[in-house]
Amino acid sequence: MVNSLTLSVMTIVFYIGAAVTRLYLKPSHLFSAKQLLLLLGIVAISLHGILLYSQIFIGAGINFGFFNAASLVAWGIALLLWVTVLAKPVENLLIALFPLAALFIGLEAYFPSQRILSADMGFGVQLHIFYSILAYSILSISALQSIFLAIQDYQLHHKHPGWALQMLPPLQVMETLLVQMIGIGVILLTASLISGFIFLENIFAQHLVHKTVLSLFAWLIFVALLWGRWQYGWRGKTLVRWNLSGFFILMLAYFGSKLVLELVLKRTV
């Protein structure tokens, strides 16, 4: 069996290799640049999944420590974006994401974190966690795309045709895909909030109240963004600002409490 450290190193190498191959190496006669990226990427994502399984499902229960959770979200984002690339020409987003996923793997290997959840938690709680991770992953992709969209918009309005305009799909396509992702993310975030209210014993308990309030606030921002797009045709900078604001608040909700509880207060259960 390959040990955890070796698996971590292998996964990091494939993630970085996929990004470097897409950026700097010329495609061979067998594979295009996109095919090489997808091939190396799915190997990295598969290894990452195996690594996460060994780190999260431990004998004492489910280890949902800070860096484990961050690595799991990065894996979910990478997988979802990899699937998206099969249908949409946004493979250059993977170039930015893969090194980030590699970074979280390295941090978990160097700073192993623990927060043990009971292995016999109810199905409803598991469903809430699943919806939460999926929603955060989708909205993370939309935040990453917002950054690229902002760069595109800047280059277009300043008549500076840089790499963002040359390597990414047209601005209108990026905007349409962004709104679609936000819409899917809002549906999943809604499911996460509803399942939390139904299945968590006390969603407004002291250690959950800030997460609940911030998640609701982020949900309102995303819904307002979609309303503005539908009613007033919001585009460009307006979309980017609202989306990044909502994502920042959601990030605080998901990881702010974990950062304080685990890395500052050193709580593991």
Q: Tokens 């918009």 label which residue?
A: 153
Q: Does the pLDDT of residue 94 top 90, yes or no? A: no
- Reference 145, options 80, 216, 192, 86; nearest CA is 80
What distances in angstroms separate CA 241 from CA 13, 150, 225, one per listed residue?
Answer: 34, 9, 10
Q: What is the mean pLDDT of the chain?
A: 83
Reported as a single tens digit per residue, the pLDDT across 128-179 is 888 888 899 899 889 988 988 888 888 777 766 655 556 667 778 888 889 9
C-alpha span between 93 and 170 (Å, rounded): 14
Whole-angstrom Cα distance, residue 90 to residue 82?
Answer: 9
State the DSSP H helix or E strand holding residue 214, giving kind and residue range, or none if neither: helix 209-232
Strand ordering across the sheet containing 61-63? 57-58, 61-63, 116-117
Q: What is the DSSP string of 5-38?
A: HHHHHHHHHHHHHHHHHHHHSPP-SS--HHHHHH
Structure-model confidence comparison of residues 203 and 32, the more confident one: 32
Map residue 127 onto helix, strand or coil: helix
Q: How far apart are CA 102 and CA 44, in angstroms?
A: 9
- Element at 84 (helix H, strand E): helix 66-87
For residue 1, the model assigns a pLDDT of 47
Q: Is residue 51 pLDDT above 90, yes or no?
A: yes
pLDDT digits (tens, 9 = 90+) for 190-246: 999 999 888 877 766 656 677 888 999 999 999 999 999 999 999 888 999 999 999
Helix 33-56 vs helix 66-87: crossing angle, to nearest 10:
150
The DSSP output letter for 265 is S
Q: Using CA of residue 231, residue 146, residue 170, residue 29, what is the dihedral sign?
A: negative
Distance CA 237, CA 243 (A): 10
Q: What CA dihedral angle connects 136, 132, 9 and 110, to 10 degrees?
A: 100
Report which residue type is found at 73: V
154 or 45: which leads in pLDDT: 45
Cross-strand partners of 58? 61
Beta strands in 33-123 (DSSP E): 57-58, 61-63, 116-117
CA distance linking residue 108 with residue 8, whole number of Å: 9
CA dist., res. 72 & res. 56, Å (int) = 9
Residue 70 in this model has a pLDDT that exceeds 90: no
Structure tokens at 256: 């702010």
Residue type, 120: D
